[in-house]
Amino acid sequence: MPLVNLPTGETIWFKTTGSGPTLLQIHGSAFGHRNFEKMTPLMAEHFTVIDFDLPGYGESRGQPRDSMEGIADQVFGFLQAADLGKVNLHGTSFGAMIGLTLAARHPEVIDHLVLSCFLARYDNAARQMRATWKRAAVDSGMEAVADLTSVAGFARGFYDRPGAEAQLAAMRRAFSKNTAQAFVAGTETIERTDLSHYAPQVSAPTLLLAGQEDNMTPFRPADSGVGFSQIEGLMPTARLTVLPDCGHYLVIEQPELAAREIVAFIRP
């Protein structure tokens, strides 16, 4: 698979699938590019899909920056170094926070923007939840983090599906490819972040995708947080779609439904 060296020293691993307009997918925390294993084959029927690992994850090398702006600048550097030009972008969870930051700071590289399952500012409940994940990462490893996040990340009905255990095993494998240090650093970056001031600055047409049963980044967080219920009003270019019977991991639980919504938004 191709590698791109950034002027700042990081090496980004990426792969290209499909054909058509370019769609860059930014993964969530702990996953790496495997976050989109179910989505990419569906999206590749309509787009040239670029999946990549952020520094500190998977096959990429280098350290993640300690701010959302710094990480977004790494992605911008990757777009320039790989000569990808203007892209459609889908970021999920942590990747959505990066995507929002990138779109606000570098609007010239974004055509359409899709942001799924994130908080612009964590509420105190989200911080407490993630404190347990950070301890698990350091004390027990990333496979333990996969198990903990699955409890919060999937809708209750997911565990009744025949393929649930196989999916959980796949998540453990994906999480194990990433370092606990990168996960903890990324989580602490998120906890320091408030992106609500960036939302009104985004000029690209934006689709907000929420999971109806998302307990990890809920549609309506406590007063200390900023979720989709507020973000929709802050972004004049945004429209909100809530996927039923779906939790935080909508790209895993409902990939066909999520793909249909994204394709209809970008290529109506």
28 DSSP assignment: P
Q: Kindly tell me if the per-residue pLDDT of 1 is higher than 80.
A: no
The pLDDT tens digits for 111-154 are 999 999 999 999 999 999 999 999 999 999 999 999 999 999 99
User: pLDDT at residue 31 above 80?
Assistant: yes
Query: What are the sequence ranges of the domains in the chain?
Result: 3-266
Instruction: Please give the CATH topology (third level) of the domain spanning 3-266.
Output: Rossmann fold (3.40.50)
- Distance in angstroms (rounded) separating the CA atoms of residues 85 and 258: 25
Whole-number Å distance between alpha carbons of 186 and 41: 27
Backbone CA torsion sign across 181, 179, 145, 44: positive
- In this predicted structure, the answer to whether residue 161 has a pLDDT above a threshold of 70 is yes
pLDDT tens per residue, range 47-73: 999 999 999 888 999 988 889 999 999
Number of H helices, E strands in the chain: 10, 8
What's the pLDDT tens digit per position in 198-214? 999 999 999 999 999 99
Cα angle: 10, vertex 12, 17; to 5 degrees: 170
Mean residue pLDDT of the chain comes to 95
Question: Mean pLDDT across the stretch 165-177?
Answer: 92
pLDDT value, residue 56: 86
